[in-house]
Every structure is written in C-alpha cells, then in structure tokens.
Structure 1
Amino acid sequence: MSETTKGIQDAGVVACAKHYILNEQEHFRQVGESVGRGYNISETLSSNIDDKTMHELYLWPFADAVRAGVGSVMCSYQQINNSYGCQNSKTLNGILKGELGFQGFVMSDWQAQHAGVASALAGMDMSTPGDTVFQSGLSFWGANLTVAVLNGTVPAYRIDDMAMRIMAAFFKVGQTVEGLEPVNMDSWSLDTYGYLHAGVKDGYQQINWHVDVQSDHGNLIREIAGKSTVLLKNEGALPLKNPKFLAVIGEDAGPSPLGPNGCADRGCNKGTLAMSWGSGTANFPYLSTPIDALNQQAINDHTRIEAVLDNYATNTIETLVKQDGATALVFVNANSGEGYIDVDGNEGDRQNLTLWGNGDELIKKVSSLCNNTIVVIHSVGPTLVTDWYDSPNVTAILWAGLPGQESGRAIVDVLYGKVNPAARTPFTWAAKSEDYGADVLYKPNNGNDAPQQDFTEGNFIDYRALDKANIKPIFEFGHGLSYTTFKYANIKVEKTNAGPYKPTKGKTVEAPTFGNFSTNIEDYAFPRAIRYIREGLRGSRIRTNG
C-alpha cells in the first residue's frame, strides 16, 4: 500500500487508502444488498475486534499509507464494534487522525454515510456521492450541515478542518486551481455526447474526447504481470524449450464469447480471468489471452499447438492430451469481487476455495492421461490444490493472480523463460479451508439485527493460524521457486535491543472559538449566480455552479 500510494501521488493524483477498517468480507456490508438476496437484516455487519489485534494486524497497511503521505482514506460500509465505520470516532478521530497523525481527508464509501452530525463529529470530511440514496436529491449534509453549525450541534471549526484537509491533499500532490486541465471524459458513459447531469438529463454536450492515454503502459503491465507470477512447483518442466506439441486446455486460456468488456463491471467469469469484478474495474483497451500469445510463440517455434477451450468437452480433451509427446497446459481460475454483484451464487465472496468451472476435475483428468501437465492458476487468492498438486504427472504449477490486459504475453514470457518467475506467494496454500481458522460469515447470526462477526482468532490468520495449530501447509506463505539455483550459507543472526516504548503525552491546542454570526439560514443560501437544476424523480432542487 505504501508503494502504491507513492506511485499514484507522484503522478499528481490524490491516493485513497481503503477500506478503513476491518472490511474483511462482502456479505452483509450493506442492508440493501442483503435484503435483495433474502437476508432479513436491519443493520450491516459488525466486525468485532480487540484493541491488540486491531493495532498489531489490521492497522498496519493504513499506517504504512499514512507514512507514505496518503491524501485520503475511505471509511468502510460495515460497522466496527457495532459503530458504523464512517461515524466511528474511535477509529477515525482516535486511531487514524490521532495515533497515526493522518492529515488528509476521510471520505465515505458511496452511501456508507448513515448520519449527518455523527459522521461530522466522528471525523468524516467528505460525503460521497453526497446523497443519502442514489439520485434521491436528499443529503445528510448539504443544507443539513449548515443548520447543524447554526444550531451549535457541529462546531464551525470542524467545517474549517474538513475544507483544510481536502485542500491540503489537493495541494500536496502538486495541483493548483489555476493549472487544472478541463475534464475530457465521463466515467459513466462511453458515448461521445451525453448529458453533463445524466441523472436529470440536463446539459447535453460532448462528454468524452476518447483520448489515448496508453503510452507505453502495456509494456509495464506485461513486465509486472510476468515478474509477479509465482512458481509453486517445477519438476524440470519449465521453462519450455521449443516443445514439439502443446495441448492447451481450459476456458481460462481463451477469450470470453462476450468480449473482454462484455459483462458490466466485469461481473461474470467467462474466458481468461485477468480482472476481478466490481465498481473499481476499468474497461480493457485490449486483452492478450494465453491462447493468443501461445499461438504466436508456437508459430515462431514451429510447434504444433491445439486447444480445447471448453472445460466440459471431456471426450475431445481426452483424445487430445493422451497423444504421445504432448505437453499439456491447463488453465484454471477462481474469481470473486464486490458485493453488489453475484456471479454463479458467489455474492461477492467466494462460496469456497475450489477452482471454478470444474477446474479441479479438469486437472485430474488431464494429468491422468498426460505425464507432463503444467497448471496455470488465475485466481483472487488461495485455492485448494490438495487432490492433484503432488501427482507425478503434474510437473509444474504457476499462480499468475489477476494479471491484467497483458495476461497472455506475460504468462508466455514466464513459460518460455524470458522472465524469471521470482515472486513469492502472499498467502498460504492450505490443504483444506478449515486450516485457515477464520472464514466468511455466510448466514446472518443475530436475528434481524446486525450480523456479528467476532474476530476471536485475534492475530492468528493465514500462516499464523496454521503455525498455532501445528498444521503443515501445502505451499507456505512466502513460497516461490525460480529458474535459478542458489543456496544459503554462513547465516548469522544478530540480536538488536529496541528501546522501551514511550507513548506520547500532552494535549493538542484548544479548539478555536468564533464570534457571533447570523442564525438565519437564508443568509447562507447559494449565491444567485449558481444555477438550479431540478431533480427529476422528486422535483427537489440540486444546485450547481456548472
């Protein structure tokens, strides 16, 4: 998170660290999503945690982001110890702004704000998108925040603090009001012309200029995708050297029949998995699939190559892979994403840790017929490999994560040794899901009230959980092979004595006081020069200086 923050802000863009904090599952993060799926709850999930675990485990990425100078932090949907994340004074004022010294602004996730005064006093600085419910024309803040200041519920200095934090982040990344480039794209539409205010069909104009911003980013994406691939197993099968016959198996090797952007917000799992689903996705300008890149390499090498891109075409697959001299490349995946999308019954979170599309059975079938079976996994996290990883016919296993638009060319770079897969797995590969100790809460457990997710495991997640229970993993956290050979020798461990921890003392300066000011709300209305735009559904008014 630290390096990502630096990279974004070095480019003049305010980075946003999210989701703060304990947003560890998608189930029950919002009441509307949950009720729409038949769960009768009245409040969102509460992540319940002790102070020690909070500080020693979950806070660290945000501490790193603050140290890197992150300009904004997004508070999360769910509750923390039964207090909503965007109005939790302990986490926002106490830990983030107090202990960590965060000087940027806190913004809500979209519709994660549940109150006006409470969120302002707890430390939230920016409401996104601003309305209580999308396109309602109603807001917890707006005029309500003005009233709260006038009646003394919210101190005036809190408004100054909000504005100061927002503009400080803006100036920190090198932006100036005078130097801003005009907006030339609309993230909500692919059309060249449309409404500036689409929700109310106002201001028809050009909204997209379709600027090519790719530059040489594709080469960088290819490099990152290749170098971040983890080689979990290799019995001498890799790198490939002019193989005579490649049998490429699996839907994950090929393109989606709907195209790379055929499912809104990538909300499906068809073809090769290069990006997960959710509101943070972007459209692929192109997608290099594994079969595309493998075909090109085979042409260059005069290699015979055939592919079956249907996981359930059992007879055709058997006929292909049992031929003499075949090197089988099996591509499989497992996906997940943001909670508002349900893909094949996976409500954001994965239902289990098995491979999708019958992937495990596919690997077992191919490896039972071909003694040189290489497996490539595209997944959002660990999957269960217990039933097939140690087969002598499975000669190599690669985890390629979610590689992005250069997926195909990047994996070919690794398979043929153009790039050394020197990455390490950032999680443990356990033999069964129970070994991890903690799991997603899939069913409400508190009647109609907020589901309660108690983090009773404390710090013991992932490899810590297995160590505590003395469980041997299949592939350890940090495991990763490479195409080079090396050994360690003459290792020496030196003890360093850290000094005692001394907590800071003292108090901050007193809050400022303000003189008398008008309590007539009409004195705080928008200037007359600002044009009113009617909200279509309710007939309420939205004001804009656009």
Structure 2
Amino acid sequence: MDQKLDLIIGSSVTSGKNETFSAIVFVNEDMGVQDFNYVSVFILVSALAIMWDHDAIYQQVKAVGSEFYKKGIQVVNRPTSQFLDRTPWDDRNGEAFGPDPYLNGLATGLTHFLLYEQETNRTKNANSIDPNPATGPLPYSSNTDDKTLHEAYLWPFYDAVKNGMGAVMCAMIKVNNTLSCENSDLLLQQLKTELGFPGVVYPDTKAQSSSASDSATNGEDYGASNIWTTSVMNALLANGTLSEARLNDMSIRNLIGYYNAHLDNGLQPAEPSDGAWVDVRGNHSKLIRKYGAQSMVLLKNENNALPLKKVRRMGVFGAHAGFIVGGPNAEISIAGSGPTYQSHLGTGTGSGQASYPYLVAPLVPLIVRASEEGTILNWILQDNYTASAGSSLIPSVAGSTFVAPSYAETASDSDVCLVFLNALSGEGKDRTELYNADQDTMVKTVADNCNNTIVVINTIGPRLVDQWIEHANVTAVLYGSLLGQESGNSIVDVLYGDVNPSGHLTYTIPKNESDYNVDICYTSQCNFTEGVYIDYRHFDASNITPRYPFGHGLSYTSFSYSDLTMPHSQSRPLHLSTAPTGHRTVGGYSDLWDTVANISITVKNIGKVNGAAVPQLYLGFPESAQQPVRQLRGFERVELATGKQAVVTFPLRRRDLSYWDVGAQKWLVAGGEYEVVVGESSRDFAVNGTLVVRTHG
C-alpha cells in the first residue's frame, strides 16, 4: 500500500528486494528539451501542422522524442490538441495544431484536457479580470453542449488515444463548472470509458484542488504530495471514500505507458544535470532546416517576385531580421510577452520556450548570399525607426559624423526590399492585437519607396495583413510559424528558391478582426455559444470572404487536379449501419476506425519547377446530421517533378462520416448524399462529386 501511495505522487519506489523503481520524469516543450544544454530547438508544432505532411509530423516527433529519451526523460508535456484555437486572441495558439479537429487529431497531442481555450482568468490570482464578481469564483468555466464537445474538442483526443497516447494533462480551468482535474464526466466517463484511455491523468500546474478526495475519486491518477499525503490517503481508504480498486487503477495507470514503451529494458540513460555534457542532437539541425522551409506559406507572389534572382541592391528591414543585444537564450516572460519581439523570433514563451544551442537569424544567410553574388546589402533592424535622410544620429569619430539612413532612403536605393515581421505571445496573458501599428507603418513606408517589397512574417497565430496587402508594391508575402534554431536558413532557402514553398494555412486570415466570431471571455462563465462554428466553419456558415482561407498556400509551380474517382454513387451506394457495431477498445468502438471508402484524384505538376502539392478533401454532410457547410476529411502532401503526375487516395474512416447524436450518446452515420470537393484550400475547389450512403439498423 505504501508503494502505491508513493507511486501516485511521483516518488521513487523501493521494494522489499531492494529493487528501486525511479520516479518518472516530466519535462516541458515539444520544440526541444526545456532548460537543458546540448539539445535542439525544433520548429513549433503549429509550423509542423502547416506542412500538412503525415510523414514529417512523425519524423519530427520521433527526433524530439529521441532527445528526451537520451536525456533520461519519460513524459513530454506536449504537444497540445487544446488549444483548438477557438479564438485568435488566445496567446498559446502557436503551441497547437490549429482549429480543425480532423487535422489536429491526426497530428495528436496530450494537453490540455479539455476546453482550455484562453489564458485570461485561468487561475484565481491577483491578475484575474472579472468585471462582475457575482458571476462566480475563478478560474473560468468553459461551458459547452455535448454535441460541440464531441465534434470539436474531444475529436482530436480520439485519435491521440487510438494512436497510443500514454498520459493526459488535465487543465487548470473548469468545464461546465467543475474543475477539469476532478470532473468525472470528462475523466471517468468520456476519456477513460468512451475513448478507452488506459493511461495516466496528471494535473497541470495549479490544476489540482486542495481536496484530495475530489481529485482522487473523479479521475486524476497522479497528484501533488502535499495534497495526497500518506495520512490523508490512508484516511480516505479507511473510511471507504477511496476504494483499494481505485488506488490500484491509479497505480497501474502511472506505470502502463512506461511498460508499453519498453522503458523497463534498462537501456534508457539516467537524467543528467541540466548543464552536463550529454549531447543528444545528432544531425537534427538538417531536419529542422528542411522542415522549417517546408512549413513556410507563400500567401502572395505577384509578377514572380519570388524566388529571388541575383540581386544587385537589397534592403532589409525590421527587428525580426536580426538579433537582440544578448541571446538567444534570454528568458522571455511567461506573462505579458509580446505583442512583438525586437529580435528574430524562433521559439515560444513560458512552458513553450525551448533552449537554443544557437539561433540563425535571416540576416546571417542573407549576408552570405550577398558575399557570394556581389549584392549590395543594407539594413535597418528596427520596427519603429524614425530617422530622416541627412540626420546625424551616430556620434562623431575623429571629427567625422555618420549619417543615419531613413526607411525611405534605404528602400529607394534597393532593387528588392525584404521586410521582416513577427508576432509574439505565450503562456500567461492573451493577445492584445492581431496586427501591429509600428510594423505596418514600416511596411507601407518601405513599399511607398520600393516597387518590389517582399514581406516575411513569423507569428504564433493569425497575423492580419490588410493594412498593406493590396499595396501595388507589395509583391510577395511569405508567412509561417516559429522555425527553431535554423529559422533564418529555412526562410532564405525559400526566398532564393532552394526550396519550393509548400506550406498551407491551418487557420483563416480575415480582412478584419471583426470577421472572427469569438473574443476573449472576461467573466468566470465562458459559454461556447458558437458551437463548432470556429474559423473556416464560421466563415462558411456566415458567408464571409476571408483574405486568405484555411488551407491556402501558393507554390513556385502550378498543379492540376482531375479524375476524381468516387466508389459509391446512386447506383452503387455505400451501405453502413447507423450506429457502430464494434466492441469497445482503446480509441472507442473498434469499427469507428474502419476505412469505409477510398476516394482518389490525379494531381499533376504543370509548372516549370519541381514542387509539392497538398490536395485537400472536404465533405458536406446530409442536412439531418446538422453539420457545418463542409469539413476537412482528407489531405496528402505529394512531391512532383515538373510534368509528372500521381494518384492520391483519401481513405475515409467510419468516424469521418459520423456525427455525435446526443440522445443516442453515440457516433451515428446519416444516410443520404455527401458532397465531396477536392482542391487547394477550403474555398478553392478543383473537382467535386457525390458520395451516397444508405444506412440500416
């Protein structure tokens, strides 16, 4: 009994045979091992999602996992499927895979369970904001209906559980007015019974309440030693509040992932000290550079401004192009970070901040290119620079003065102008802006004086561009998330065409902030009245034209789509039972995961350079299912040499055709016609067809 009680509070356990089970080690960050030396800083998971590449997701996660493993760590407190980017003002959107449950689920994650969609009022503290204290105590409660919970927020965790997730972090907020870490509906019913999750539930920082019984009996398996003390837990066992069966379940859940991953084979190294010379990086820098480049989205490219050819005179503008005075490992505040970063931004903040071995800012490879190609390169690395032509801002040296150039002067002397922008936010405080006045003024000033102005943006979430996107001299926009230690190399690889961009947006960029339908909630009762209608589902339902739609991304080449093959039509419908008939297993009913149809399309590279297409399949459901206009249900990244073509197949699982029926408390399939469209974004459809389903039982 004492060993079990030690196990569930994260203590090492010694048996009577002097055998010791060392406590499992938990460490933050999916970009790299936080607070350790000699580790890599990978691209942010939001950048990984932008690649829309199943294999790349696997390869990066494998590489990250190997570094944690070699540092003696068993549990990575990342990545996250919630935040689901319900609101663009949520400051941790960069740590997640975007607002589409399907894409989010295939990438998978383990935190935060569930409905944790903003930082404001996440805990009861001095910084809490509640204009009406009578509405109740903080932290806030995310309140939603059962259909929304399943079809949006719970959906990705089905995939994560099915694919072997061993641990889940419960959030520090409330769900439907019960703390997440003692919410039996969430943890015992939905996670452990409905989804069949066999692993451990452990709390986020400050997420466990002071009530030992409420957390232990309602689904939390790993807790704080100052709350689950030996005396308190023994008292709960003695009075029957906590059963021995439940304690056994908690103990097993703390171990099952460890043994499932074969960590008991004695091969994993022990955890070293933070600064110990244990270099786990291998050749990961090459993978980071490659994936960073592949994750960049080409939003605009007028007159083939990109890729850059041999440039005579280039101007570079913005703090994001260069370096802060000290760094790159200066700590970024866990609260109140941003809204921009006055240096090159390659990693997140707070628990989402990785530990650089080095950082490549874009100015470095640009200088190398200039030296190789004879380019004259000038730069102003400041977002709010105000010097005018002829002003003397630098002190005299030996009787001489240096003249500080202006934006206008430097821009007008350049054949190509590169303007670098970033948007920073992170754990602890939500975003205050989706565009930045200083940066936008810089872009417009440069563009007014340079007829080939190219804007590069790295951001943790949506960054609006309508202040200048239609300026005649803004010829191209390259856009992405945070790219880790090789960031500058990745960006310059795309700018010069060494890599053909193939990233696609994982969220919608609107024309106006007001086009979004969900803001930050400032009361303790946060009602998800929008249901599943976030991001492109909202834009489609409200018939709002975005600046750039979900899934958008250009290339230096062009692709054609043809020969949509539909296996089931009116004459040959797909026959399915209305409700699943399989047995309960890890991931829910077993037949939810059956492939019930394969839809294929031919993609051809009709351009002049090699490139990668990302065809996307969207489904429109029969009206009886009460679903959005259309939803992502398939994607694939396919590399094609010029003139070559390939057949891309989209497997549809039973769950991809299912909707949540509140009355039946099951995933049901609606009979009828399903609209099938395939194209390059949620608004750009090349081909379409109809899938016909007949249901029985």
For the aligned pair, the TM-score class normalised by the smaller chain equals 0.7 to 0.9
**Once structures 1 and 2 are overlaid, which stretch shifts more, 228-237 or 254-263?**
254-263
Is 1:329 the counterpart of 2:329 in the alignment?
A: no
CA distance in 1, matches of 2:62, 2:173: 29
More off after superposition, 429-438 vs 177-186: 177-186
Q: Name the counterpart of 2:574.
A: 497
Give CA-to-partner distance per residue, 1:310-330, whole Å, 9 cap, x none.
11223311110012x520000
* 2:322 alignment partner in structure 1: 254
Deviation at 1:6, TM superposition (A): 6.6
- Structure 2 residue corresponding to 1:238, chosen from 295, 303, 306: 306
Asked whether the 8 Å contact 1:384–1:432 carries over to 2, the reply is: yes
Separation of aligned partners in 1, 2:514 and 2:153: 21
Secondary structure class of the residue paired with 2:408: helix
Residue in structure 1 matched with residue 104 of structure 2 by the alignment: none
Return the offset for 1:498. 5.5
Q: Write out per-residue CA displacement over residues 230-265 of structure 1, whole angstroms, 9 at most, x where no aligned residue.
A: 111111100011111110000111111231112346
Q: Which moved more, 1:214-223 or 1:74-83?
A: 214-223
Percent sequence identity over aligned pairs: 38
The separation in 1 between residues aligned to 2:61 and 2:409, in whole angstroms, is 52
Q: What residue number does 1:152 align with?
A: 240
Q: For 1:427, which of 498, 507, 510 is the aligned residue?
A: 507
Q: Structure 1 residues 480, 264: CA separation in 2 closer, same or farther (over 3 Å shift)?
A: closer
- The answer for the alignment partner of 2:214 in structure 1 is 118
Using the alignment, how far apart are the partners of 2:200 and 2:578 within structure 1?
Answer: 29
Are positions 1:106 and 2:204 aligned together?
Answer: no
Residues 392 and 494 of structure 1: CA distance in aligned 2, closer, same or farther (over 3 Å): farther
Whole-angstrom CA distance in 1 between matches of 2:240 and 2:506: 50
**Residue 143 of structure 1, CA deviation:** 3.4
Query: Which residue of 1 is the match for residue 533 of structure 2?
Result: 460
Cα distance in structure 1, aligned partners of 2:129 and 2:547: 39
For residues 284 and 325 of structure 2, the distance between their equivalents in structure 1, rounded to whole angstroms, comes to 26
Uncovered stretches (5+) of structure 1, i.e. residues with no partner = 132-137, 187-207, 340-346, 445-450, 509-546
The answer (yes or no) to whether the contact 2:321–2:381 under 8 Å persists in 1 is: yes
Letter in 2 for 1:309: L
Task: Report the CA distance shift for 1:112/1:8 in structure 2 as closer, same or farther (over 3 A).
Answer: farther
Give a deviation string over 1:426-468, Cα, whole Å, max 9, x none.
0001111221211212x33xxxxxx111100001100111111
Distance 1:360 1:458, change over 3 A: same
How far 1:121 moved relative to its partner? 1.4
Q: In the alignment, is the contact (CA less than 8 A) between 2:307 and 2:497 conserved in 1?
A: yes
User: Cα 1:36–1:362, aligned 2, differ >3 Å: closer, same or farther?
Assistant: same
Give the residue type in structure 2 aligned to 1:477.
F
Change (3 A) 1:143 1:390: farther
Which deviates more, 423-432 or 267-276? 267-276
Report the alpha carbon displacement of residue 487 of structure 1 after superposing the two structures with TM: 1.8
Could you tell me whether the CA contact under 8 Å between 1:8 and 1:15 is conserved in 2? no
Aligned to 2:343: 271
- Equivalent residue for 1:58, pick from 153, 172, 180: 153
Q: Quick one: structure 1 residues 7 and 65, their matched pair in 2 at CA, closer, same or farther if it must change by over 3 Å?
A: farther
Amino acid at match of 1:331: F
Query: Secondary structure, in 3 states, of the residue corresponding to 2:419?
Result: strand
* 8 Å contact kept, 1:257–1:270: no
> Which residue identity does 2:324 align to in structure 1?
S
Once the two structures are superposed, residues 90-145 of structure 1 have per-residue CA deviations (whole angstroms, 9 ceiling, x without a partner) of 11111111111111111100120012111111111112xx25xxxxxx32454322
Structural mapping, 1:371-382, within 5 Å: 371-382=451-462
Q: Which AA in structure 1 matches 2:448? A: S
In structure 2, distance between residues paired with 1:57 and 1:501 = 21
Partner of 1:184: 272
SS in 1 for 2:379: strand
Cα distance in 2 between the residues matched to 1:507 and 1:300: 62
Corresponding residue for residue 231 of structure 2: 143
Secondary structure of 2:264's counterpart equals coil
Q: 1:485/1:264 Cα in 2 relative to 1: closer, same or farther (>3 Å)?
A: closer
- Alpha-carbon RMSD across the aligned residues, in angstroms, is 2.5
Residues 14 and 169, structure 1, Cα contact 8 Å, conserved in 2: no
- Contact 2:348-2:354 within 8 A present in 1 as well: no
Structure 1 residue 15 displacement after superposition: 5.0
Structure 2 CA distance for aligned equivalents of residues 468 and 301 of structure 1: 51
The residue number in structure 1 matching 2:277 is 210
1:502 partner letter: A
Distance 1:335 1:61, change over 3 A: same
Distance 1:228 1:167, change over 3 A: same
1:226 to 2:283 alignment: no
Preserved CA contact (<8 Å) 1:47 1:80: yes
Equivalent residues of 1:14, 1:173 under 8 A apart: no
**Deviations 1:355-408, CA, capped at 9 Å, x for gaps:** 3x7111211111111110000011011111112112221110011211111110
Q: How does 1:155-174 map to 2 (within 5 A)?
A: 155-174=243-262
270-279 vs 5-14, greater mean Cα deviation: 5-14
CA distance, structure 2, for counterparts of residue 259 and residue 36 of structure 1: 34
1:25 to 104, 118, 126: 118
> Superposition pairs for residues 273-312 of structure 1, below 5 Å?
273-312=345-384
Give the structure 2 partner of residue 73 of structure 1.
168
Contact 1:435 1:465 in 2 (8 A): no
SS at match of 2:112: strand
| Counterpart residue type for residue 293 of structure 2 | G
Deviation of residue 146 (structure 1)? 2.5
Distance in 2, matches of 1:39 and 1:298, equals: 59
| AA in 2 matched with 1:247 | G
Offset of residue 42 of structure 1: 3.3
TM-score calculated relative to the size of structure 2: 0.63
- Kindly state the Cα deviation for residue 9 of structure 1 after the two structures are TM-superposed: 9.5
Could you tell me whether the CA contact under 8 Å between 1:254 and 1:272 is conserved in 2?
Answer: yes
Match of 1:193 in 2: none
8 Å CA contact 1:265–1:282 kept in 2: the answer is no
Aligned counterpart, 2:492: 412
- CA deviation string 1:468-506 (max 9, x = no partner): 111100101000001112222344545463613435799
1: distance between equivalents of 2:528 and 2:130? 25
318, 321, 334: which is aligned to 2:408? 318
CA distance in 1, matches of 2:365, 2:474: 22
Contact 1:6 1:68 in 2 (8 A): no
- Give the alignment partner of residue 486 of structure 1, picking from 536, 542, 559: 559
Q: Give the equivalent residue in structure 1 for 2:95.
A: none
CA distance in 1, matches of 2:243, 2:161: 26
Whole-angstrom distance in 2 between the partners of 1:33 and 1:402: 31
